Every structure is written in structure tokens, then in C-alpha cells.
């Protein structure tokens, strides 16, 4: 039994399951707004399964594709995909199972979700290889998570609404912005190994500036989302709070690069949770 428990822990470390917190709140924000309130337990379960399986697929493929890179990077050399705890065949099976689960769940939701599940998987998988030839990989990661709100509204209403696109654009620039900050940790490694990233191409100062622009765009798009969706004061509070939290994130990173993990995981994790709670409160107040 302990062997299986250890293997589960290894797979959890492989994909960092707890980081699903970045995409889940915005899926449910879209579902709450689309349903104008509670969207039902069935869609709740489907939403969680779709989000987790999609992320597991993307992270599993990323770890598989990056085994050679991760083995040479001191920051990543102890990952299960590198140190032998999980072999390549097991990772490929994990990727295939999660892809199947995602498509199957999409099929059970509605036909539009099903047909869009295939290009979504393609986008999710493309990030793993993009950084080998383009510094736009940060944007691809943003798009990967930014698809979450659109997926949420499709699940509820089988359509793509203007406000969901604005919400997604906010997520795209939010994720791309904090990925820029996170990638500052590997700037020297990327330069030495000819990996394409904005920090390795333009330097840390330019990266911090571009990240701040991206996060400014996030706040703008989230404000447009609240306006177009005709939400109320609690949703506007979520936008203002997000602006302050992103500002604090940049303050932490600019002050000390060793605070990047704290900025990346803690601040961004709470941002999504608070945004979701405030949107729910907004719908309850109607």
C-alpha cells in the first residue's frame, strides 16, 4: 500500500496538483456569471474534472518534453520525471489518460465543448515546445489558462459570450505576466542553453516592465468584463483588489528575486480565490 501512496505523491509532485488553484476560480467565475448564480452539482463536478485533467495533460506533457532540460537545471533536477521516480512510459500513459478524461467530460457536457476539446488540447500541449524556438512561450501559457473562463461559459450556455472573452483576456495577461516573473529564476540557465524566454532575450529590467504592462492589461480587461457583464459593486471590488495584489506582487519581486516563489504561488493563488468569492457575493446580492 505504501508503494502506491508514494507513487501518487510522485505524480502529485510531477504536476503540482495544488496549482490548479490558478485556473479553477476563473472557470467557476464564468459559470456563475453565465448561470446568473448556482449552476448545479453536475456542472461543478464536470468543471473540476475538465480543469484538472486538462492541467494534468499539459503539465505531464511539459515534464515529459523537458526531461533533458530539467536534468541540467539545478532548480529542476530533482523532479520525479528526471530523478527516475517516474519513467517516461508512465508519464506518457498519464498524459493519454488525462487527455481521454478531458475529451470524455467535454462530450458529456455538450457538443460544442466536445468539438473544442481537441484544439484546446493542442494549445495546451504546444507550450511544452514553444520555448525551444520562441520567447512568446509566456503568452502561450497565458492562453492555455485563459481558455478556462471560455470553457466555463460553454459548459453552462453552449456559447462564447463577449464578457467571457474579456475575462479570458484578463487571465491570459495575468498568467503571462506572472510567468515572466517566475522565469527570472532561470535567466542565466536559459541564456546558457539557448532557450527562448523574454528574460534571457531582453534582461530582467525589461522583463519586469513587460510583466507590469501585462498585469495592467489584466486589470483593464477584468474591469471591461465586469462592465460588459453588468456586474455590481462586489465584482468591481474584485478588480480593485486584484490591482492592489498584482502591485504587491511586483513590489515583492523588485525588492528581492528570492521572493519570486512567494509572489508566484501565494499572491496569485489568493487573487483567484478572492476574485471568485467576490463575484459569488455579487450574484447573491442581486
Q: How confident is the model over 177-201, as pLDDT tens digits?
A: 988 888 887 788 777 777 778 888 8
**Torsion sign (Cα): 70, 126, 56, 225:** positive
Structural Rg of the chain based on CA atoms: 19
243, pLDDT greater than 80: yes
- pLDDT-based confidence at 28, cuts 50/70/90? very high
Instruction: Report which of residues 20 and 139 the model is more confident about.
Output: 139
Q: Is the pTM of this model over 0.85?
A: yes
pLDDT over 70, % of the chain:
88
Q: Looking at residues 144-171, what average pLDDT do you find?
A: 92
Count how many Cα atoms sit within 13 Å of the Cα of residue 174 in the half-sphere of its side chain. 31
What ranges do the domains of the chain cover?
2-284
259, pLDDT greater than 60: no
* CATH class held by domain 2-284: mainly alpha
Q: How confident is the model over 84-121, as pLDDT tens digits?
A: 778 888 889 989 999 999 999 999 999 999 999 999 99
225, pLDDT greater than 80: yes
Distance CA 221, CA 145 (A): 15
Distance CA 280, CA 269 (A): 17
Q: Which of 10-19, 63-72, 125-134, 222-231 has the lowest mean pLDDT?
A: 10-19
Q: What is the pLDDT of residue 14?
A: 67
Identify which of 150, 157, 139, 111 has the alpha carbon closest to the alpha carbon of residue 29: 150
Instruction: Report which of residues 71 and 278 the model is more confident about.
Output: 278
237, pLDDT greater than 70: yes
pLDDT over 90, % of the chain:
41
Amino acid at each position: 500500500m505504501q508503494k502506491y501512496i508514494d507513487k501518487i505523491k510522485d505524480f502529485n509532485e510531477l504536476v503540482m496538483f495544488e496549482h490548479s488553484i490558478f485556473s479553477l476560480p476563473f472557470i467557476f467565475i464564468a459559470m456563475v456569471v453565465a448561470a446568473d448564480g448556482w449552476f448545479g452539482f453536475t456542472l461543478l463536478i464536470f468543471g473540476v474534472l475538465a480543469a484538472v485533467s486538462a492541467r494534468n495533460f499539459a503539465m505531464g506533457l511539459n515534464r515529459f518534453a523537458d526531461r533533458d532540460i530539467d536534468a541540467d537545471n539545478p532548480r529542476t533536477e530533482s523532479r520525479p520525471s528526471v530523478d527516475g521516480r517516474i519513467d517516461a512510459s508512465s508519464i506518457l500513459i498519464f498524459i493519454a489518460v488525462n487527455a481521454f478524461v478531458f475529451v470524455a467530460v467535454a462530450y458529456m457536457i455538450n457538443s460544442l465543448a466536445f468539438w473544442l476539446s481537441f484544439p484546446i488540447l493542442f494549445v495546451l500541449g504546444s507550450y511544452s515546445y514553444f520555448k525551444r524556438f520562441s520567447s512568446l512561450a509566456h503568452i502561450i501559457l497565458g492562453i492555455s489558462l485563459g481558455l478556462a473562463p471560455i470553457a466555463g461559459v460553454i459548459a453552462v450556455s453552449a456559447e462564447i459570450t463577449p464578457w467571457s472573452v474579456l475575462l479570458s483576456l484578463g487571465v491570459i495577461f495575468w498568467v503571462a505576466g506572472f510567468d515572466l516573473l517566475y522565469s527570472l529564476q532561470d535567466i542565466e540557465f536559459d541564456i546558457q542553453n539557448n532557450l527562448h524566454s523574454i528574460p534571457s532575450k531582453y534582461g530582467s529590467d525589461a522583463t519586469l516592465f513587460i510583466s507590469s504592462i501585462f498585469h495592467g492589461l489584466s486589470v483593464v480587461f477584468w474591469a471591461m468584463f465586469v462592465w460588459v457583464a453588468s456586474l455590481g459593486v462586489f465584482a468591481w471590488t474584485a478588480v480593485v483588489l486584484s490591482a492592489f495584489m498584482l502591485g504587491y506582487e511586483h513590489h515583492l519581486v523588485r525588492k528581492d528575486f528570492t521572493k519570486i516563489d512567494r509572489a508566484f504561488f501565494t499572491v496569485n493563488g489568493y487573487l483567484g480565490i478572492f476574485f471568485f468569492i467576490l463575484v459569488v457575493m455579487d450574484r447573491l446580492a442581486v
